Amino acid sequence: MSKPKVLVIGSNSFSGSHFVAEALRHDHAVWGVSRSTEPHPVFLPYRWRLNGDGPALATAENFQFRAIDLNSQLDDLLELIDRVQPELVVNFAAQGMVAESWLNPTHWYRTNVVAQVALHDALRQKPFLQKYVHVTTPEVYGSTDGGWIKEHNHFKPSTPYAVSRAACDLHLYSFHEAYGFPVVFTRAANVYGPGQQLYRIIPRTLLSARTGKPMHLHGGGHSVRSFIHIQDVVRATLQLANDGEPGSAWHLSTRECCSIRALVEQICSLCRADFNTLVQDSDERLGKDQSYLLDSAAMRQVHGWTDRVSLKQGLQETLGWVNANLDTLNTLPWNYQHKT
């Protein structure tokens, strides 16, 4: 019996591209959609060759990509969906970057709410759809200053980005209640790993440590996060796409946490770089939450999932990716590039 067909929306994203690779490893036929053409292969793990040689995971037979903008080309996306009839749809698409959401909040609401509602209203009428996984964010909760929190929809977002994601989550809850829409929510703590966008804290610090280019640490780096390796996240996401109960929400997190400053110090030590020379403290970002600590006990108990990659191991692996591609990465922008 063939495995369900998978449509990945936002397949160019860090998490989306790793999920494509995970689905291909498990013999699913996959269709990928993102608003831009595929980026440099250094950011696409499904295009990487195993052990540096041999075939890549993606072939013309098991993966097809189309550049479709959810904001302006919904009809094209629905035409593809009707042709492919995917049983599983996994949506990573969202306008990200918290700080910039204050500068262009209408862009965030347009992409993360209005375009998503239009998509969901069409998807709910597709009889072939078995599961819709909505990859959302812990930022909908606001700062989890009271400690590790369980899954709930008591939201307190503190930025336009977080408000837009919370609004979409609540909309999907209403569609599940009204129509039985088969949505499953995932919320992961800070995800990292090889192939991540260069403006994110871990690849940015690794690059600075490798090149000696100074970097800024917002607010002195005293906010607390729990970092989880991308491979642990996509394993769980594929498991939930197949087995998650519609209407359920799941936290994907390690049980360890550290401050951003301690993380950067650990990376500097790994790279044998001097923290005091490399790092410059700067003002805290507007609306920055102090902590995101997600209790992942439900995912562990119900689905038998566990995180396997330690932070030390994951940082070493990501450093290996940076080292292997340093010449290429030095030619690419290290800062966030906003797309309207």
Q: CB-side exposure of 265: number of CA atoms within 13 Å? A: 9
pLDDT attached to residue 18: 98
Q: Is residue 324 part of a domain?
A: no
Rounded distance between C-alpha atoms, residue 166 and residue 43, angstroms: 28
H or E segment and range at residue 280: strand 279-282
Residue 52 has pLDDT above 80, yes or no: no
Rounded distance between C-alpha atoms, residue 8 and residue 86, angstroms: 10
Average pLDDT of 41-51?
90
Average pLDDT of 110-115?
97
Q: Total domain count for the chain?
A: 1
Q: Is residue 317 part of a domain?
A: no
Q: Is residue 203 part of a domain?
A: no
Contact present, 320 and 272 (Cβ < 8 Å)? no
Q: Is residue 277 part of a domain?
A: no
At 110, which CATH number?
A: 3.40.50.720
Amino acid residing at 310:
S
pTM of the model: 0.95
Q: Is residue 149 part of a domain?
A: yes
Average pLDDT of 151-164?
93
Structure tokens at 119: 């998509």
Average pLDDT of 231-238?
98
Q: Is residue 318 part of a domain?
A: no
Q: Is residue 110 part of a domain?
A: yes
Rounded distance between C-alpha atoms, residue 289 and residue 57, angstroms: 38
Q: Is residue 219 part of a domain?
A: no
Please give the share of the chain, as a percent, with pLDDT higher than 70: 96
Domain span including residue 66 = 6-197+226-258+291-311
Confidence of residue 336 (pLDDT cuts 50, 70, 90): low
pLDDT 10s digits, 83-104:
999 999 999 999 988 888 999 9
